[in-house]
Amino acid sequence: MPNLSSICSSGCVIFPWFEYCIEPLERLDYGYLGELGIPGRHDFRKPNTDSWIERTHQIHMVERGNAEWQRMLIFRDYLRDHLLVAQQYSRLKCSLADEFGSHPDAHRLYPEGKTTFVQFVLQQAACEGYGPV
């Protein structure tokens, strides 16, 4: 999906032993953030600073086949198949970044701002037959 601001490009990492990735990713200036409230999903950000605005990359690492892996791939596939929905998601992300980019709780407010949209997309995907990969 070219020209869409970092929409779930989902090179979803398939690696059950995430702890082996922490040190090599830290050497590449990624910071390990833990599960951030989503069991089984391990998050990394680059650069490894507390600044939300400076972040250029994020990795969501999940084990192949778990529920979060399924959910992320369904969401990704739906956006790939529905360009207008993908564009709406891109606009939402940009709007949330503008609104919360410098807020001290941006790490919490930004993802919360996407929740309703993501849940709606997943419900639509289920109605249209998207299912376990």
In this structure, are residues 57 and 49 in contact, taking their beta carbons and an 8 Å threshold?
Answer: no
In this structure, are residues 52 and 107 in contact, taking their beta carbons and an 8 Å threshold?
Answer: yes
In this structure, are residues 86 and 79 in contact, taking their beta carbons and an 8 Å threshold?
Answer: yes
How distant, in Å, are the alpha carbons of 54, 119, 129 from that of 38?
Answer: 23, 15, 25
Higher pLDDT, 95 or 18: 95
* CATH domain 13-127 topology: Beta Polymerase; domain 2 (3.30.460)
Say what the pTM is. 0.77
* pLDDT value of residue 39: 83
pLDDT at position 38 over 70 = yes
Domain ranges within the chain, ordered by starting residue: 13-127
Q: What is the pLDDT of residues 21-34, one digit of tens each?
A: 899 999 999 999 88
pLDDT at position 58 over 50 = yes
Q: What is the pLDDT of residues 66-95, one digit of tens each?
A: 888 899 999 999 999 999 999 999 999 999
Mode of pairing for the β-strands spanning 13-14 and 57-62:
parallel
